[in-house]
Structure 1
Amino acid sequence: MSTKHHHDSDNYILTPEAEPFLERLFFNNRILFLLIFLGLTIFLTYSAINIKPDARLEKLIPLKHPYIMNMMENRDSLDNLGNSIRISVESTDGTVFNAEYMEALRLITDELFYIPGVDRAGLKSLWTANVRWVEVTEEGFQGGPVIPPTYDGSEESLDTLRQNILRSGTVGSLVANNFKSTIIQAPLFEKNPETGEQLDYQAFSHELETRIRAKFENDNIKVHIVGFAKKIGDLMDGIKDIGFFALIAIAITFVLLVWYARCLKSAVIPVICSIIAVFWQLGILNLLGFGLDPYSVLVPFLVFAIGISHGVQIINAVALESAEGRNKFDAARHAFRDLYVPGMLALMSDGIGFLTLLLIQIDVIQELAITASIGVAVIIFTNLVLLPLLMSYVGVSKSGVNYFKKNTEAEPKIAKIMSYCAHPTVAPISILIGIALAGAGVYYGQDLKIGDLDKGAPELHPDSRYNLDNAFITDNYSTSADVMVIMVKTEVEQCSSYQTMDAIDRFQWVMENVEGVQGTASLVTVSKIVSTGMNEGNLKWRSLSRNQQILNSSIQRAPAGLLNADCSLAPVILFLADHKAETLERVTAEAEKFAAEYKVDGELEFLLAAGSAGIDAATNQVIEAAQDRMLAFVYAVVSILCFITFRSIRAVLCIITPLGITSVLCEALMVYKGIGVKVETLPVIALGVGIGVDYGIYIYTRLETYIRDGLGLQAAYLETLKTTGKAVAFTGVTLAIGVVTWVWSSIKFQSNMGFLLTFMFLWNMVGALWLLPALARFLIRPEQIIAKERIRQQKQIADD
C-alpha cells in the first residue's frame, strides 16, 4: 500500500528528539492542557452569555467619508434628518375626517410622545402645535395650528380641520394625497439625554409594536411604521431565525458526520470542539467590548463551519492512522503531526483574509473582520489542538476503523473516475472549461452593481411587514422617505443673503431636472411662497427679491431645519424616488459638479451629504473603492502564505486559481440574482475565499506527500481522493447543506448570504477536486519534488 510506504519512510522521525516541539508540548502534557481548555471554556462561555446586541447608526455608516464627516460636523443644525421614524395612521373606513379617526390619531401621538428615545420637541402630527396653516388675506397673513383649541369632533370642527389641512401645505407630506391617512414624524435621540445610554433599537421597535400597533390597530385603523430604528429592530428580531437555522445546521452536520465516520465518538467530538470555538469567540468579543449586530451575528455559524471543516480532516487522519494498527494515542499524535502545519496555514489564510475587510472604513464591516479573525484564531486551539487531544483518549470505534480501512484498501469507482482529472488527456479539457467559466464570469460580472437594487429596505424581503409599510407610504404620499440633504455653508448671518439664496435657487432648479429627484425644499422655497402671499397671491411674485430686507422678512418664520441658529448653514432637502445605486450616482454627480462650480472659499460652499440617501451614497462609494483592493489583498496574502509553506509558485497557482474562478462566477451569479455589492454582501466574497482555500491546501498537501513517496501524479491523486479528497468532498457538501437552509430566512440579506455561501462552498470544493489536479498536471514536476524529498531525508538522517 502506498499509504504504508508513506509511513514506513517516516519511521526515522518517530524518535522523541525528532518529534516537533508543539507535538511534544501538547501530547506529553495532555492532562494539563485539557484542564486549561476546560477552565477557558467555562470562563469564556460565561462571558459569551453576557454579550449584548449593538446596532448603533454610527457602526453602519462610513464615518471617515467626506459626506458623513460633513453630516456629523453639522449634525446639530440638521434637525435630526439622519434618524427618525414615520408612523402612518390609516383610516380603512373612509377619510381621516371623522371623529373616531382623529381621536385615535391623538391617542397615538400622545403615546409616541412618551416612548423613550423620541425627541419630543421635534414630534410632528396634525395634533402638535408645530403643524400650522397659513393664508393670505386682505389684512395680511393669518394662521394657527391645524387642529385649533376649539376642535370638538363635531361636523363643523371637522370641516374647519379640512380647510386648515388644505391651507397648511401638508397634503402629500403629513396627509396622504387621498386623505385616507396621516403621518406622525418623530426624530430620535441616539442617546438617552437623561441616562446617556445608547438607544436600543430592538427595544424601541418592540415599544412601537406593543404601545402603538398592537394597542391601536383595529378594523377601522391600520398602522404603518418606517424608519432606520424600526428597520434595525426588525432585523434584530430576525436573529432568532439565525439561531434556529444554526441549530438545524448543527443537527444536519452531526447526522452526516455519523454517516461519514460510522462512529458516534468521531461525530460528537468535532461538533463539541466547534461549538466550544463559537463560545470562545463570543466570550472574547464580549471581553473586548464588542457586541453583536445583525451582520456579524452570522459569523459564529461560519466559525462553526470552519471548525467542522478542519475537524473532519483530523478525524479522517486519526481513522487512517488507526486503520494501520496504531493505538488511539499514537493515531491522534500522528494526525496532529501530519495536519497542524497545513491546518495552521489554512487558518492563518482565513484569518488574514478576513482582516482585509479592515480596509473598508465602515465600523460594522471592520468589526465583522475582527469577529471572524478571532473565531479563526480560536479554531487553531479548539480544533487543531483540543480535538486531537480528546481523540487520543476516546479514539475511533472499531466499526469506524474497519470502515475507513475498507474504503482505503478498496478502489471506489467515483475516486477512480475522479483521478482522471490528473490524466494527460483529460487535464487540458478541464483547464479549457475552467478558462471558459472564468471568461463567462468576468463578462457577466461586468454588470455587477454597487449598492441597493430594490426599493424599500433591501435587508428584508419585499413581503416583510416593514417593506409593505414602506410601500404604503411611498404610494400614498408625495414626499419620499429617501432624502438627501445638501448643506449650504456660509459666513455667519449670510445664509439668507441674495448671493446665497440665488445660488440655492439655481441649485434646486438643476437638481429638480435630474432623473430620480421628486422635488426639493429649502429657504428659497419658503421665501418664494411668502413673497407670493405678501403680494396677494400673485404668482408673478413667486421669485427671489433682490431687496435684502424683503428676503429677510420672507424667511422670518421658516420652519426649523431649514437654517441654523446663526444663519451659517441652510440645508437643501432633495426628495428622491428611491435609493437605488444608479439614482444615487446621478444625483451625487450633479450635486458635486454644481458644488465645484459655485464654491467660494470662506463665503459659500455646497457640502454633500446628509439624510438617509446621503448615507447610502457615501456607503456605496466606500464599498466601490475598497472592493477590488480588498480582493487583491486577500489573494495576495493567501498566495504569499501558500508560497512560504510550499516554496513553489506552481503550488500557489494550483491552489489559488480555482478560488479565483469561483470569485468571478460568484459575481456573475450576483448579477443574475439581482444582488448588489453592499455592506452585507461584500464580506461574503472574502469569507468564501478564506474558507475555500482550506480545501486546496489540504488536497495539495496530501497530493505532494504521495508524490514524495514515489507515486505518479494520477496514482498520487487517486490516493489523495481516497483519504483527504473524501473528507474535502464531505466537508463541502455538509457546509453547503448547512447554509442553504438560510435561503428560507425572514431576513433577506441572510437569505442572500446563504445562497452565495452555498455556491462558494460547493464551487471551491469542486475547484479543489477537479481543477487543482488538472493544473498540477501542467505545473507540478514530480521528479523535482522527489529529489527535494531525498535531499531532506538525507539531511535529516545526517542531523540525527
Structure 2
Amino acid sequence: MGKKVSDGFETIASLADFDKYSGNRLERLLFNYRGWVIALCALLTAVFIVSASQLKLNASFLKTIPASHPFVLNYLKHAEELKGSANALRIAIALPEEHQGDIFSADYMELLRQINDEVYLVPGVDRAFMKSLWTPLTRWQGVTEHGFDGGTVVPDGFSGSAADLEVLRGNVELSGEIGQLVAPDFRSSIILVPLLDINPNTGEALDYKELSDALEQIRERYEAQGVDIHIIGFAKVMGDLISGLYAMLVFFAFAVFISTFILLRFTRCWRSTLVVQGCTLTGVVWLLGVLPMLGYELNPYSILVPFLVYAIGVSHGAQKMNGIMQDIGRGTHRLIAARYTFRRLFAAGMTALLADAVGFAVLTLVDIPVIQDLAIISSLGVALLVFTNLALLPILLSYTGVSARAAERRLHAEQNIQHNSASTPAFMRILDLFTKPRMAVFALVHALMLGGWALWTSQDLQVGDLDPGAPELRPDSRYNQDNAFIIGNYQASSDVFVIMVETETGQCVNYETLRKVEELEWRLRQLPAVDGTSSIAGVARRVNVGMNEGLLKWNELPPNQAMINAAANRSPRELFNDTCDLLSIYVFLKDHKADTLNAVVSVTGSFADQFNSDEVRFLMAAGNAGIESATNIVVKQANTQMLIGVYLAVSLLCLIAFRSWRATVCAILPLMLTSILAEALMVKLGMGLKVATLPVVALGVGIGVDYALYIISVMLFWLKRGSTLSEAYFHALNFTGRVVVFTGITLSLGVITWVLSPIKFQADMGLLLTFMFLCNMLVALVLVPALACFLLQPRHFPQGRENATSTPEKSSDLVSADTEQKASREQEVPV
C-alpha cells in the first residue's frame, strides 16, 4: 500500500487506511455524521423556502432618514403639525398639448373630481390634509365692497355651467394657489396627497409598490379619457424602484449562468460545478428565509445583498472545490480529500468570512435605519455561508467527488508547471516579477502616484444628489419626465425645505417675530436655486394690500398687531399651528442637488445663529429637501467613520489570523488603494455619495479582503518552511491565486450586466462593484508580493527553517525535510 505524502497530508486511496477520528472535533462532528448533516440542511432549506415566499420588497420613508439627527428630531417633534411637508405626492392633471383651451371647462373639472375622489380612497392617503381644487382646504379670500370675503374655490352647487366656470376662475385668481395648485398658464392643476407611514387598513407599513400600482391604474384609465397625468414624490420613486428591481431577478439569474459557465470551463466537471452553485444558492435561500422570521424586509437599497452573499459564496466555494480536486487527482479518496481541504482552508475561510461580517456590521454606525438594516442583513448572510460553503460544500463533495478526467487534467497541468520554467503560464511569470526588488519598487511607486491622484480627485466627491428629479432612475424615465413637467409649470416644486420657527404660546404672529421671518425669506430668495418662499409674513403683506384698495405700495408687513392678527385668521392652517407657538417657512427649491441644499442650510444656519433667542428659535428642517439635507450631513460624517471602522475591524482580524503585523499591512494597504480609487471613479462618473452608494465602498472592502487572505495565508505557510518569497508566491498563485483570478473575473462579468438595468442607481452600483471586484483582484495579485518583497522575507520567519527540518511525530501532521521538498513540487498547500 503505497502512500505519497504531500505537505503533511497523506495521499490515501482507501478509507480503510484513514483514521476517521483524526482532525479536530468540528471536523469529526461534521464528517463522521455527514448524512445527518445533509438531512438537517435539507430540512432547513425546505423551511426557509417556505419562509422566503413571505418576504416582502418594500421601503419606509422613516427608514431612509437619519433617526437622531437634529433636523429629523425637530421634524418628528412637530410631525403632526407639518402633515404632508415631507412624504407627499403631487399629481398634476394636464391638458394635452394639442388640446385647445384651459382647465376652466366642465369636462376637465369633472375628470379632476373623479380622479380626486379615487385618489382620496387609495389606502395610505392622509385624507384630512389632501388638497386640490375640489377639497375644502383649498379656499379663496378677497376684499369686496362688503369687506373681506372668502370660501371654497369650487363654489357650492357647482354644475359646470358657464357662469359657474367664470366664478371658479375668479376664485382661483383670489386663492393664491396659482403656481402652487394651479399652473400659471391654466392648463393643469395639482392634487397634493400627503401620505401616512402606516396603512390604516392593514396596520402595517405603507406598501409603496401597491400604492404606485394603484396610481398607475388611475393614470392609465384617465389618460385614455384625454388628459396627461404626472406623478412625483418619494413614494412614487420607491414604487418605481421596486417595480424596476424585479428585473434584478433577471440579472441575478444571468450572473449565476455566467459564473456556472466559467466555473465549468475552469474545472471541466459538471458535478462539482453544480455542488458549488447549489451550496452557494442554498446560502442565499437561507438568508431570504431568515429575514421574514426576524421581521426584516428587502428594500431598494438592500436588494444587492443576496448577490453579494452569492458572490462571496462562489469565491469560497471555488477555493474548496479546487483543493479537493487537487487531492483526488493525486489518488486520495474523495471523502479524505474533502476532510483534508476542510482542515487546510477552514481557518482562512472562517477568518475571511468573519472579516466580511464584521466589515459589514460596521455599517451599523451609520445613523440611517435602511443602511443599518443592510449591514445586519449582509452580516447575517455571510454568517450563513460559514455553514453552507465551509462545511456543507466539502461534505457534499465527499459524496460526489469530481470526475476522474477533470482531476487527471488538473494534476497533469500542475505537474507541467514548475517554478521559473518555460511551462509556467505567462501571467504567473509576470506576477512573479513583483517579488523582485526592482519591480516591487516600480509597482509601489506607481501605486503611490495613482493613490495620490485618486486622493486629490476624491476631494471633489460631493455628498447627495447631483442631478435633478430622482437620480436613482434614468434621466428619461417616466418619473423624471413628470418631475420636469411640474418644475417647468409650477413655482412649488416637489423639493420643499421647511424651516420651523418656535415661539412662546400665542406669540407666533408677533410683529418682531414676523420681521425676522421676512428677513430670512429675503436672504433665501437671493439664492439662485430658490424658486420662492411662503410664510404667514407674506400673507400679512398681501392682506395689507387688500385692506388698502389693492395698492402695491402697501405691500409690506403692517406694524400693527391687530392687523397682523386679522391676517393670521385668514392664513392657511399649514403656516402655523393651533396653539400659535410654531410657524412654518416653506422654501421652494428648483432641485435637491447637494449644492442647493448646502446653500439653504448655510444661509438658514447663519441666520439662526444670529437671531435665535429664548423667545424665538429658527429650526431646521422639515420637507423632503430638509430631510435630505440631514441625510447628506449624516452620510458625509459617516463615510469617514465607516471606512475607519471597516479597516480597523479588518486589520484586527488579519492580525489575529496572520499573527504578523507585516502580513496585515500587506493585506490592508491594497484595499485602501481600491477604496480611494473607487471614490475617484465616483467623481469621474458624476455619482454623489448618498444612501444608495455609501455602503458599496465598505461592501467592496469586505469582499476584497478575501483575495488577500487566501494569497497571504499560502505565502506565509511556505515562508515559514524556508521557501523564498518567489517560491512562496508561486505556490500561492498556483493554489489559490488562480481561483482569485477566476472569482474576480466571474463576479465582474456578473455585475457589469447591471448597466442595462432600468434603475440608474443599480447601474451605478454595477459599475462600482465591477471596478472593485477587478481592482481588488489586481492589487492583491500585484501589490501583495510587492509589499511582501520588503515586509515578508524568509528572514522574518527564523522558526520556519526549523519546522522544515524537524523530525515528524506523525506522518499526518509534519513531514520530513526530504518529503517537504517533494511536496513543494506538487503544489498542494495546507492553509
Distance 1:722 1:195 in 2: 58
Of 389, 392, 406, the residue aligned with 1:386 is 392
Structure 2 residue 498 is matched with structure 1 residue 491: no
What residue is the counterpart of 2:592 in the other structure?
579
Whether the aligned pair in 2 keeps the contact of 1:407 and 1:722 (CA below 8 Å) is: no
> In the alignment, residue 80 of structure 1 is paired with which amino acid?
G
Whether the aligned pair in 2 keeps the contact of 1:666 and 1:756 (CA below 8 Å) is: yes
Superposed, 1:183-198 pairs within 5 Å as: 183-193=190-200, 195-198=202-205
Residues 387 and 80 of structure 1: CA distance in aligned 2, closer, same or farther (over 3 Å) = same
Distance 2:328 2:476 in 1: 54
Whether the aligned pair in 1 keeps the contact of 2:58 and 2:209 (CA below 8 Å) is: no
Of 600, 607, 617, the residue aligned with 2:619 is 607
Q: Secondary structure at the match of 1:238?
A: helix
User: How far is 1:23 from its partner?
Assistant: 1.8
Distance 1:786 1:389 in 2: 37
> In the alignment, residue 169 of structure 1 is paired with which amino acid?
G
C-alpha RMSD of the superposition = 2.1
Distance 1:671 1:194 in 2: 45
Distance 1:137 1:242 in 2: 61
Of 483, 503, 506, the residue aligned with 1:470 is 483
What residue is the counterpart of 1:81 in the other structure?
85
What residue is the counterpart of 1:748 in the other structure?
760
What residue is the counterpart of 1:622 in the other structure?
634
User: How far is 1:25 from its partner?
Assistant: 2.2
User: How far is 1:8 from its partner?
Assistant: 4.7
Superposed, 1:369-384 pairs within 5 Å as: 369-384=375-390
Superposed, 1:190-589 pairs within 5 Å as: 190-193=197-200, 195-210=202-217, 212-218=218-224, 220-410=226-416, 411-589=424-602
User: How far is 1:154 from its partner?
Assistant: 3.8
Of 109, 119, 128, the residue aligned with 1:121 is 128
What residue is the counterpart of 1:43 in the other structure?
47
Structure 2 residue 174 is matched with structure 1 residue 164: no
Q: Secondary structure at the match of 2:184?
A: coil
What residue is the counterpart of 2:670 in the other structure?
658
Distance 2:308 2:807 in 1: 42
What residue is the counterpart of 2:114 in the other structure?
107
What residue is the counterpart of 1:597 in the other structure?
610
User: How far is 1:587 from its partner?
Assistant: 0.8
Structure 2 residue 643 is matched with structure 1 residue 631: yes
Whether the aligned pair in 2 keeps the contact of 1:89 and 1:105 (CA below 8 Å) is: yes
User: How far is 1:173 from its partner?
Assistant: 1.2
Q: Which moved more, 1:31-40 or 1:326-335?
A: 31-40
Structure 2 residue 64 is matched with structure 1 residue 60: yes
What residue is the counterpart of 1:784 in the other structure?
796
Superposed, 1:679-690 pairs within 5 Å as: 679-690=691-702
Q: Secondary structure at the match of 1:746?
A: coil
Residues 708 and 788 of structure 1: CA distance in aligned 2, closer, same or farther (over 3 Å) = closer
Give the % identical residues. Answer: 45
Q: Secondary structure at the match of 2:571?
A: coil
> In the alignment, residue 68 of structure 2 is paired with which amino acid?
K
In the TM superposition, what whole-angstrom CA distance separates every residue of 1:526-560 from its partner, at most 9, and x where no partner exists?
A: 11111211111122322222322221111102112
What residue is the counterpart of 1:147 in the other structure?
154
> In the alignment, residue 167 of structure 1 is paired with which amino acid?
L
Aligned residues: 795
TM-score of the superposed pair, with normalisation by structure 2: 0.92
Q: Secondary structure at the match of 1:296?
A: coil
> In the alignment, residue 362 of structure 2 is paired with which amino acid?
T
User: How far is 1:369 from its partner?
Assistant: 0.2
Whether the aligned pair in 1 keeps the contact of 2:11 and 2:332 (CA below 8 Å) is: no
Whether the aligned pair in 2 keeps the contact of 1:353 and 1:637 (CA below 8 Å) is: yes
Q: Which moved more, 1:786-795 or 1:470-479?
A: 786-795
User: How far is 1:279 from its partner?
Assistant: 1.2
User: How far is 1:239 from its partner?
Assistant: 2.1
- Structure 1, unpaired ranges of 5+: none
In the TM superposition, what whole-angstrom CA distance separates every residue of 1:545-586 from its partner, at most 9, and x where no partner exists?
A: 232222111110211211111111111111112111111111
Distance 2:801 2:110 in 1: 87
Distance 1:148 1:32 in 2: 77
Superposed, 1:631-650 pairs within 5 Å as: 631-650=643-662
Distance 1:566 1:133 in 2: 24
Q: Which moved more, 1:269-278 or 1:507-516?
A: 507-516
What residue is the counterpart of 1:699 in the other structure?
711
User: How far is 1:388 from its partner?
Assistant: 0.4
Distance 1:296 1:584 in 2: 26
Distance 1:723 1:647 in 2: 22
User: How far is 1:232 from its partner?
Assistant: 0.9
> In the alignment, residue 740 of structure 2 is paired with which amino acid?
V
Residues 722 and 181 of structure 1: CA distance in aligned 2, closer, same or farther (over 3 Å) = same
Distance 1:796 1:680 in 2: 55
What residue is the counterpart of 1:7 in the other structure?
7
Whether the aligned pair in 1 keeps the contact of 2:491 and 2:532 (CA below 8 Å) is: no
What residue is the counterpart of 2:76 in the other structure?
72
Distance 1:562 1:145 in 2: 18
Residues 141 and 392 of structure 1: CA distance in aligned 2, closer, same or farther (over 3 Å) = same
Q: Which moved more, 1:133-142 or 1:429-438?
A: 133-142
> In the alignment, residue 791 of structure 2 is paired with which amino acid?
L
Distance 2:630 2:804 in 1: 55
Distance 2:297 2:347 in 1: 33
> In the alignment, residue 749 of structure 1 is paired with which amino acid?
F
In the TM superposition, what whole-angstrom CA distance separates every residue of 1:362-418 from its partner, at most 9, and x where no partner exists?
A: 100000000000000000000000000000110011121022112212222332232
